[in-house]
Structure 1
Amino acid sequence: MQNLQEFQDRLGYEFENKELLKEALTHKSYKSPVNNERLEFLGDAVLDLIVGEYLFKKLPKANEGELSKLRASIVNEEGFAKLAQKLDIGKYIYISQAEENNHGRTKPSLLSNAFEAVMGAIYLEKGLEKVREIILALLEEVYPKIDLNALFKDYKTTLQELTQARYGVTPTYKLIGSSGPDHKKEFEVAVLLNEETVATAKGRSKKAAQQEAAKIALQKLKAENE
């Protein structure tokens, strides 16, 4: 359990139940009777609350819409992967050899899931206050500046402004499909210009998938104009 001890030192929290920690770090690909999906589900809800409360107190002048956008920019796969990387969580997760060969230890989805699961495990063991203490310290370190400009990039608005100026058209978004269990659905969306697909992307929500598709489309259109 030396690696787990090393991780706990990084985390700043010593688990009473080491099996709970191991479960939180176990990806479903690993041959084990347990994996971290249930803890991930719990951790996601806990983190949503803590980040929302943090932003509410930190930004007293922000309105509901701004707070929602800020929370959405942190409480997502990319945001949690950043926090997970700060803890070097990829070094400690239990994954299959196939995932190992597929660079699983650096995949944002695996890092994000493990991070959520670890926070869910801490919540079960010590409650909300301990998770809050760990998360707030991480947020202050990873996001030294918290405001709309620093965190939230509205790619859909930027893309619309660019396409209207350049082509006189507004992009449209089409849901291609969805997959995964209800608590962890993934949506695939296409962004179209004049009925032609410019880019596709996946996300944990339709809005997230649209933002990612818009981001990719922006990169393509800007590259074409260089």
Structure 2
Amino acid sequence: MKDFSKLEQDLDLNFKDRDLLTQAFIHKSFLNENPDFRLGDNERLEFLGDAVLELVVTNYLFREYPGEPEGKLTSWRAALVNADRLSEVAREMDLNDFLLLSEGERKQEGKARDYILADVVEALLGAIYLDQGFERCQEFVKQHLIKKLPEIIEKGLFRDSKSLFQEKAQEKVSITPGYEVLEEWGPDHDKHFEVGVFLEKEMIAKGDGSSKLEAEEEAAEQALKVKGW
């Protein structure tokens, strides 16, 4: 079992419920090989942490940039909370060293590992929220993630296809795009997704990838071409 006390010390986190911290790092593949392990996987914590992260970032942008339009704030938020940025933050915090994975998953690197790390950041934030509250989450996100915002703005890193398509859709037709998984296949360690991007009920384009986020980005890129935006 991993020694999470070092992580707590490095990140200045003092968990009252240490099981929450451990669970944030349990990938479902680990439980496939260890079905009798006393804790569940991190997916519910990830679900909670995703919502907490979005609220923290949205609240910060709304308060700190009162003169900016909604479309631009949406793009900045998307650039801050996307999988690439979160996995980058996870590696800076050495979260990779604490992952609880199956033997097969441990051998996977590249994009597959990045998405697992992005999910762990969200799961960890969910655990912090349950254990220490919303204010501590705000401090944590500001310390480790929001510090990247000036570079994102300065270098225009917020203009990924998904955020650009959302910005254009809101500007031109006053609709926020929606994404829906059309099909998924493959084992847990090699999943594949096909995603459609919709403007209300109209599907504009499809994309595929090894994660939902990757497929959404591809769908948005195709949608920009379809619409000529």
TM-score (norm 1): 0.70
Between 124-133 and 30-39, the greater mean CA deviation after superposition? 30-39
Q: Is residue 22 of structure 1 aligned with residue 22 of structure 2?
A: yes
Question: Residue 73 of structure 1: CA displacement?
Answer: 1.6
Do the aligned partners of residues 41 and 34 (structure 1) sit closer, same or farther apart at CA in structure 2, a change above 3 Å counting?
Answer: same
Deviations 1:4-24 (A, max 9, x none): 011112221111111111111
* Candidates 212, 216, 227, aligned match of 1:203: 212
Structure 2 Cα separation of the partners of residues 63 and 48 of structure 1: 17
Cross-structure match for 2:82: 76
Cross-structure match for 1:66: 72
Q: Is residue 179 of structure 1 aligned with residue 188 of structure 2?
A: no
Cross-structure match for 1:221: none
Q: Is residue 110 of structure 1 aligned with residue 116 of structure 2?
A: yes
Matched to 1:12, the amino acid is D
Deviations 1:91-113 (A, max 9, x none): 10111111112238971111011
TM-score (norm 2): 0.69
Q: Is residue 93 of structure 1 aligned with residue 95 of structure 2?
A: no
RMSD, matched Cα: 3.6
Q: Which has the higher contact order (CA 8 A, sep 6+)?
A: 2
Structure 2 Cα separation of the partners of residues 106 and 210 of structure 1: 19
Cross-structure match for 1:131: 137
Matched to 1:78, the amino acid is D
Number of aligned residue pairs: give it.
191
Do the aligned partners of residues 200 and 22 (structure 1) sit closer, same or farther apart at CA in structure 2, a change above 3 Å counting?
Answer: closer
Runs of at least 5 residues in structure 1 that lack an aligned partner in the other structure? 159-174, 181-185, 191-198, 218-226
Deviations 1:176-215 (A, max 9, x none): 93339xxxxx85259xxxxxxxx85453387533246689
Structure 2 Cα separation of the partners of residues 27 and 154 of structure 1: 28
Report percent identity of matched pairs: 33
Deviations 1:81-136 (A, max 9, x none): 12211211111011111111223897111101111111100100111000100110
Question: Residue 80 of structure 1: CA displacement?
Answer: 1.5
Structure 2 Cα separation of the partners of residues 179 and 71 of structure 1: 27
Higher Rg: 1
| SS of structure 2 residue aligned to 1:177 | strand
Structure 1 Cα separation of the partners of residues 86 and 144 of structure 2: 10
Structure 1 Cα separation of the partners of residues 67 and 215 of structure 2: 29
